[in-house]
Amino acid sequence: MRIYKKPVLCNYYVTYRCNAKCGFCDIWERPSPYVGLEQVSKNLTDLKRLGVKVIDFTGGEPLLHRQMPDFLALAKQMGFITTLTTNALLYPKYAQKLKGKIDMLHFSLDSPHREAHDKSRGVKCFDFVIESIQIAKSLGERPDILFTVFEENCHEIGQVYREITQPNGLILILNPVFDYNDVKTGTGLSEVALKTLLHWGHKKNIYLNEGFIALRKDGGNHIDKPVCRAASTTLVISPENELVLPCYHLGIDAIPIENNLYDLYQSPKVQQLVALEGRYPACEGCVINCYMQPSFAVEVNKYFWKSLPSTLKYNYLKGTWKQLR
């Protein structure tokens, strides 16, 4: 049963450019422009009309865009919940300008060990994450640590929790890695790894959406009975000011917005693509977290109930639950 029929989230790619070279991502390999403030303003207005509640300014590395503080301020003024994930290389430089503008600020950290994290990210950024935590706290910000979980770093969750997030009063977000397109990351986390995730997910100040684990155990999305509601819950806007459908990772079509996002989304062409969400051949077995999370939130099913406790827990801790009602 569908309980919310409007899109809830926008993944707004302000640029695909990045100052890191993560081995589990290919976004940074793409040529890319930067979005413009006028485009962002118009699109945010239309997103509001469409019912979107959360704007995820993403990339690439979103802090490479010098107008990022302006985008965030505009989104906050319009009543959106804002979220941004960064490798923290540029956060110390822009922290003061970002203060108070990000509801869900995530610093990526995949290991408690400098060498391992820097190797994963292809650039020396561990020390910037640690520095950024202290800077953010000094400004009254409450960042989260986003830990991308692989088979080989699953055993390090406890150390990150004990030595980094708990002493600093931060939330640790566990993000199981996933394959997509030609990017192979060892998606098939073992039963032991999944049990480890569930164990830590029940701890204080740790967020793990248990719907992710249940979906993996069930073999992912199945095109004959899709769980994925990516296209109807999440709008994806590219740096070229295109609406990407049905999701960024599949990207079957990219339609120029041309200052008309509201009407474009409701057009027959777009709605035909939306109607096939989760049913494309490439959707078989998909477990991409960033699209499954909103999918689990709008339809009452097994995954809705699995994800509900952790979703309520996180939004209560962040203070955003009232805005999501």
User: Domain span at residue 278?
Assistant: 9-320
Whether pLDDT at 174 is above 70: yes
DSSP string, 186-213: -----HHHHHHHHHHHTSTTEE--HHHH
Give SS3 for 300: coil
Q: What is the pTM of this model?
A: 0.94
Contact 154, 195 (CB under 8 A): no
- Asked if residue 2 belongs to a domain, the reply is no
Confidence of residue 317 (pLDDT cuts 50, 70, 90): confident
What is the domain-level CATH number for residue 84? 3.20.20.70
The average pLDDT across 11-33 equals: 87
Whether pLDDT at 26 is above 80: no
pLDDT at 12: 98
- Asked if residue 246 belongs to a domain, the reply is yes
pLDDT at 27: 81
- Asked if residue 92 belongs to a domain, the reply is yes
- Asked if residue 3 belongs to a domain, the reply is no
Contact 186, 151 (CB under 8 A): yes
Comparison of pLDDT for 177 and 43, the residue scoring more:
43
- Asked if residue 325 belongs to a domain, the reply is no
pLDDT tens digits for range 265-275: 999 999 999 99
pLDDT tens digits for range 110-144: 999 999 999 999 999 999 999 999 999 999 999 99
- Strands of the chain (E only): list them: 9-13, 54-58, 81-86, 104-108, 144-149, 171-176, 206-207, 234-237, 242-245, 253-256
- Asked if residue 238 belongs to a domain, the reply is yes
**CA angle (179 as vertex; 173, 182 as ends), nearest 5:** 140
pLDDT tens digits for range 291-313: 999 999 999 999 999 999 999 99
- Asked if residue 222 belongs to a domain, the reply is yes
Number of domains in the chain: 1
The average pLDDT across 12-41 equals: 89
Q: What residue has token string 């979906």?
A: 215
- Asked if residue 276 belongs to a domain, the reply is yes
Contact 231, 271 (CB under 8 A): no
Q: Which of 183-187, 276-280, 314-318 has the highest mean pLDDT?
A: 276-280
Helical pair 68-77 and 91-98, crossing angle rounded to 10 deg: 30
pLDDT tens digits for range 178-224: 765 554 555 568 999 999 999 999 999 999 999 999 999 999 999 99
